[in-house]
């Protein structure tokens, strides 16, 4: 396991994000800070909710088309960006193993503990498979991904939708620079659909997503000795039609001042003021193709879930 992100690095990033985001005219935080142990557990619950179609739709696409993906890519190495527990990886690994060419799995994630557990489990499940884990941030350390072999680079879960258009351009350009001509990219993206169905996926009837959203305030209280009252904020999911994205926000229920002791700052919230905690952009087939082409990729194949729920795209660098 290569470690390019230390505890000190994560602490510095948290402090910078909080200081920058909470002192901005329109307050924001990046969604990466949702995912402490409790946040990861809540998100796992979200993926099993009836309203949250994304995980089921993507997995069904992977199960249906993994053999074709493996045959087309002709890869001996699977690279997964933002791998987490590596659960979906097994569908692709099984298909690649069936071709007889599978040699290596390279998961990249910010959590060394999660990666270590997942890497050992996969090494036990797939005798002879070399698992080369990389602890890092795909924004900063994509160039540290091992270059050996013919690689299938998977970026799943519509995680790319959490990036702004400019961040997506930068990420895809960096990814294109990292990849060789024989490599392939497998990208998972959620599609634009009925507004009410989208909103339900991010504001479920059981309140799990609301607890997940507020959990970031518990993280700041614990890590930075902040004084947030999570019950003083309302979970809000909005559809931004112009930007084609869901926005998750925490809305202050009263005028309040929050102290963040470790940063020696006080943050003022007015009644009804929003803190933006996550964006989740939704795409069209043509939009995905256009963004990939602008970054240097040529689309080989696209597979769309029934009802336009989700899209998998296989692409390659065109030069």
The fraction of the chain above a pLDDT of 70, given in percent, is 100
Query: What are the residue ranges of helices labelled H in the chain?
Result: 7-22, 37-47, 54-73, 89-98, 112-125, 165-178, 195-201, 208-224, 285-295
Distance of CA 159 to the CA centre of its chain: 3
Candidate from 3-7, 85-89, 121-125 with smallest mean pLDDT: 85-89
- For the entire predicted model, the pTM comes to 0.93
pLDDT digits (tens, 9 = 90+) for 97-129: 999 989 999 999 887 777 888 888 988 999 999
DSSP letter string over 49-81? STT--HHHHHHHHHHHHHHHHHHHH--SEEEEE
The pLDDT, as a whole number, for residue 105 is 95
Mean pLDDT of 256-260: 98
Chain-wide mean pLDDT for the chain? 94
Q: Confidence band (pLDDT; 50, 70, 90) for 266? A: very high
Q: Cα(130)–Cα(136) distance, rounded to whole angstroms?
A: 19
DSSP label at residue 313: E
The pLDDT, as a whole number, for residue 118 is 85
SS3 20: helix
Mean pLDDT of 284-310: 95
SS3 25: coil
Q: Cα(94)–Cα(296) distance, rounded to whole angstroms?
A: 29
The hierarchical CATH code for the domain 54-193+283-317 is: 3.40.50.150
For the chain, give every domain's residue range.
24-34+197-281, 54-193+283-317
Mean pLDDT of 200-226: 96
Find, among 145, 41, 72, 136, the residue nearest to 301 by Cα: 72
Mean pLDDT of 198-223: 96
Distance of CA 319 to the CA centre of its chain: 27
pLDDT digits (tens, 9 = 90+) for 36-77: 888 888 988 998 999 999 999 999 999 999 999 999 999 999
159: Cβ contacts below 8 Å, ≥ 6 apart:
81, 82, 188
Residue 250's beta-bridge partner residues? 235, 275
pLDDT digits (tens, 9 = 90+) for 157-191: 999 999 999 999 999 999 999 999 899 999 999 99
Residue 136 has pLDDT above 90, yes or no: no
Q: Confidence band (pLDDT; 50, 70, 90) for 204? A: very high
Find, among 165, 160, 123, 115, the residue nearest to 3 by Cα: 115
Q: Confidence band (pLDDT; 50, 70, 90) for 195? A: very high
284: Cβ contacts below 8 Å, ≥ 6 apart:
191, 192
Candidate from 17-21, 136-140, 222-226 with smallest mean pLDDT: 136-140
């Amino acid at each position: 396991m290569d470690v390019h992100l230390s505890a000190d690095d994560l602490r510095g990033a948290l402090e910078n994000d909080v200081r920058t985001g909470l002192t901005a005219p329109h307050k924001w935080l990046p969604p990466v800070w949702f995912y402490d142990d409790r946040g990861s557990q809540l998100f796992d619950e979200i993926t099993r909710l009836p309203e949250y179609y994304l995980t089921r739709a993507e997995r069904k696409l992977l199960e249906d088309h993994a053999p074709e993906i493996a045959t087309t890519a002709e890869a001996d190495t699977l690279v997964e960006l933002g791998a987490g527990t590596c659960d979906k990886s097994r569908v692709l690994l099984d298909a690649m193993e069936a071709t007889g060419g599978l040699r290596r799995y390279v998961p990249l994630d910010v959590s060394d503990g999660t990666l270590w557990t997942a890497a050992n489990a996969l090494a036990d499940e797939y005798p002879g498979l070399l698992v080369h884990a990389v602890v890092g941030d795909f924004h900063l350390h994509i160039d540290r991904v091992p270059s050996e072999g013919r690689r299938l680079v998977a970026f799943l879960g519509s995680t790319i939708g959490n990036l702004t258009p400019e961040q997506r351009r930068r990420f895809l350009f960096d990814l294109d620079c990292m990849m060789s001509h024989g490599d392939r990219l497998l990208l998972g993206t959620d599609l634009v659909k009925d507004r009410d169905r989208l909103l339900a996926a991010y504001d479920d009837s059981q309140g799990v997503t609301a607890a997940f959203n507020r959990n970031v305030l518990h993280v700041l209280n614990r890590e930075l000795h902040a004084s947030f009252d999570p019950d003083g904020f309302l979970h809000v999911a909005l559809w931004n039609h112009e930007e084609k994205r869901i926005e998750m926000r925490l809305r202050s229920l009263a005028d309040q001042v929050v102290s963040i002791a470790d940063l020696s700052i006080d943050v003022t919230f007015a009644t009804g003021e929003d803190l933006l905690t996550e964006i989740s952009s939704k795409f069209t087939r043509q939009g995905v193709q256009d963004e990939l082409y602008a970054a240097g990729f040529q689309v080989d194949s696209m597979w769309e879930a029934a009802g336009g729920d989700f899209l998998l795209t296989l692409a390659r660098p065109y030069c």
